[in-house]
Amino acid sequence: MVLKTSITLLALAIAGQAHGQVNQINQQSQIQPKASAQDIERIIVTGSRIAENIDEVPASITIITQKQIAQQLMVSSEIQSLLANLVPGMSPSTGTSSNSGQTLRGRAPLVMIDGVPQSTPLRNGALGIRTLDASVIERIEVIKGATSIYGNGAAGGIINYITKKANSDKKLSGHASISTRFSAVELEDSVGQRYEAGINGEVNNFNYVFNASYEENGLQRDADGDILGLKYGLSDAVMQNYFAKLGYHFDDEKSLQFTYNYYQSKQGVNLIDQVGNINTGEKTQAIAVPVGKSVLGEPQGPTNHNLMLKYVDDEIFAQTGLMVDLYRQEVENIFFYSPTLANPDAGYSGGQSLIRSEKKGLRLTFNTRVDFSLANGDSVETTFIYGIDALNDVTSQPMVDGRVWVPEMDMESLAGFLQTKLIYNDDLVIKFGVRQEDIDLTVNDYSTLKLCKKIDQCSVPVNVIGDTLNYTATTYNIGVKYNALALFSPFISYSQGADISDTGRLLRTATVTDIALIHTQASIIDNYELGFSSDFEQVHFEFATYFSTSEFGTTNKFNEVTGVYMPVRAPQEIYGYEALINYEINEAWVVNATYSWVEGKNTADDVYLGAKQISPPKATVNLNWQPSHTISLALNYLYVGNRKRFEPVDGEYVGDQGPIDSYQIVNVSGNYNFASDWSAFIGIENLFNQDYYPTKSQGYTYGGYNIKGLGTTVNIGVNYQF
């Protein structure tokens, strides 16, 4: 705690020093002007935790607008598919409730709602992307590459869901939507329904947003009309989201905001899996429960609560703003029932695990703005962003039946940070920063779980002595961007991230008797990136190439004796490139296309990384046509390439090393405004009924994962706005 106290004092000292410097040059300084309405789509908050223009960030950024989100909702409410279609560097959708295998540039991203972490990095269950309904989101900001700006878990970057704000022009406005979704291949039991509505407004200094959605899926069917496998499945799933945001403006500078978000997704289906085999080409599909058998376990899926309190003072000191974030998140993710979690000696024929995680945090962010002129007439705009992050994360993975698989991990983190931005003559942007983080991770005494794949194939339990592990890390970042030429605006950056992700996986397979002997040390990720953007007339083009190294990464190796996949920590390198082009052909036609390629290796053994991290090449094309204000049509094309880096072991592919064959998917959607307040829409997913396995289903050889993608599925509905 001595170091944590030192960090606190250091951050406060920085604040005081910056305040003093501002007072000394106050006579020649000016506050940065606020963004105008026409520039709002160019403003982001994720990259540095304050509002800034996207042109001032020397990194690859993808902004998904509310219009794009609404367009994707016409086809599907699944955020995984939305991100895969619109974000270069994001792996293709898994087609399930799990985002395992859906990485950002080959590493796990940190998912946030308004800056509050939703992922569970201490025991990464890969369910963080589905934490709210897409209808609640105003925009999505994706920052790629390792970053320590938000702390642990951001090895691949950040996906920040920015929730909707109140309409300040009206005391009351709102909307309602009803839709139905069904398989066009086999209609039987595939019909689902979705209801969504919200109101918002501003009365005097008070503003509010309320939104609710409820969705019931029917059976999900593939191109043959068969029911998709149930592992992380969405057949007969019920999704519900209730959202509230209340705000009060004390004056033009001070405001207080309270936000609550509840999201739940549960798959409760009276079917069982007929498990196939990727090596024999037999797909996994759901079938009726045979006579004499029953559905085992509880409905799988996440339940997520978020409470957030934000206070903003734009001028707490001279030219210094303050933002205080208090938050609490509780999540419970229940996984599928598995016979591999058996222990016949204790009377368990299988089991079902769940991840429990509770986070409580405080973020204190100061923002000091200083503008001044040099003797030669040049101008320099300087911004200092500094403060303290405090987080308590308590995560565990017990069994539903009461057994302990991953013991409770109690993490306390305190970090001080300083980020500086210099803008010289409006053209040259230089950013650099440092973050000092101190983490205490406490685990009490526990025993590893005895698991039996077969009666005579069991792991050996180990009694482990608990301890408090301490991690300290200092990470740096620096970036330069030059904006003088619209035709060529280059940037270069170097950033580091400190990561202790998935410590729970290491603990549950411990082979030593003392937690202090488990290799749990933090991994430092070094991320190098070079890119540029170009704008000429109606065309916008972006390109970036990157190289990322880490001291440790978590891969899996099959233990033939126990039948359990054990984690292997080894140095990794990941590299790739991305390109995007947006062409506004005319007022009616807009086309957007992307291409991304990524590869990675375990450098210790010089072997390629598997499908859990690395996805095949991906290309997308989004074509939008809006001939009038009453009609709009969109076509979305996704191409996923081949990746075949591994050879069979004893005639069979193992782990996440399955060969991946290419596939392509076409979605279409249309909207028609038939009255001033009413519109109807239709969306068709997999228009040509492509018969395919998603990348995860091909790459993962584990039993029950080889599930086909959705066949042609239709979504029809109406919207009302007032």
Interval 604-623: pLDDT, tens: 889 999 999 999 999 999 99
Give the CA dihedral 165, 169, 172, 178, nearest 10 degrees: -60
pLDDT at 3 exceeding the cut of 50: no
Please give the residue that has the higher pLDDT: either 8 or 593: 593
Give the structural domain span for 274: 2-721
Can you state the percent helix, strand and coil of the chain, rounding each to 5? 10, 55, 35
Q: How far from each other are the two terminal CA atoms of the chain, in whole angstroms?
A: 54
* pLDDT, average across residues 523-530: 93
| 331-372 pLDDT tens trace | 999 999 998 899 999 999 999 999 999 999 999 999 999 998
Q: What is the overall mean pLDDT for the chain? A: 89
pLDDT surpassing 70 at residue 125: yes
Residues 6+ apart with CB under 8 A from 719: 175, 176, 177, 678, 679, 680, 681
**pLDDT digits over 211-270, tens only?**
999 999 999 999 999 999 999 999 999 999 999 999 999 999 999 999 999 999 999 899
Q: In what order do the strands lie in the sheet with 285-288?
A: 227-228, 285-288, 271-274
Q: How many CB atoms lie within 10 A of CB 535?
A: 15
Q: Environment class of residue 605 by beta-carbon count within 10 Å: exposed (0-12), middle (13-18) or buried (19+)?
A: exposed
651 in the Ramachandran plot: left (φ > 0), alpha (ψ -120 to 50) or beta? Answer: left
Query: How would DSSP label each residue in 457-477?
Result: EEPPP-EEB-EEEEEEEEEEE
Tell me the per-residue pLDDT of 369-404, one tens digit each, with 9 for 90 and over: 999 888 888 899 999 999 999 999 999 999 999 999
Residue 631 reports pLDDT greater than 80 = yes
Per-residue confidence at 9, pLDDT binned at 50, 70, 90?
A: very low
Q: Which residues lie closer than 8 Å to 176 by C-beta, 6 or more apart?
A: 196, 197, 719, 720
What CATH number did the domain enclosing 180 receive?
2.40.170.20
- 436-440, 497-501, 626-630: lowest mean pLDDT where? 497-501
Q: CB burial class (10 A; 0-12, 13-18, 19+) of residue 10?
A: middle
Range scoring the smallest mean pLDDT among 18-22, 165-169, 203-207, 628-632: 18-22
pLDDT tops 50 at residue 431: yes
Q: What is the pTM of this model?
A: 0.90
Q: What's the pLDDT band for 556 if we cut at 50, 70, 90?
A: low
Confidence at residue 52, expressed as pLDDT on a 0 to 100 scale? 87
Q: At 554, is the pLDDT very low, low, confident or very high (cuts 50, 70, 90)?
A: low
Could you tell me which residues come within 8 angstroms of residue 645 by beta carbon, excluding any fewer than 6 positions away?
A: 608, 657
Bridge pairing between strands 110-113 and 157-163: parallel
The identity of residue 189, as a single letter, is: D
The structural domain count of the chain equals 1
pLDDT at 13 over 80: no
- 305 token code pair: 């609560």
**Out of 7-16, 79-88, 356-365, least confident range:** 7-16
**Please, which pLDDT band fits residue 558 given cuts at 50, 70 and 90?**
low
Task: Enumerate residues 6+ apart whose C-beta is below 8 A from 40.
Answer: none
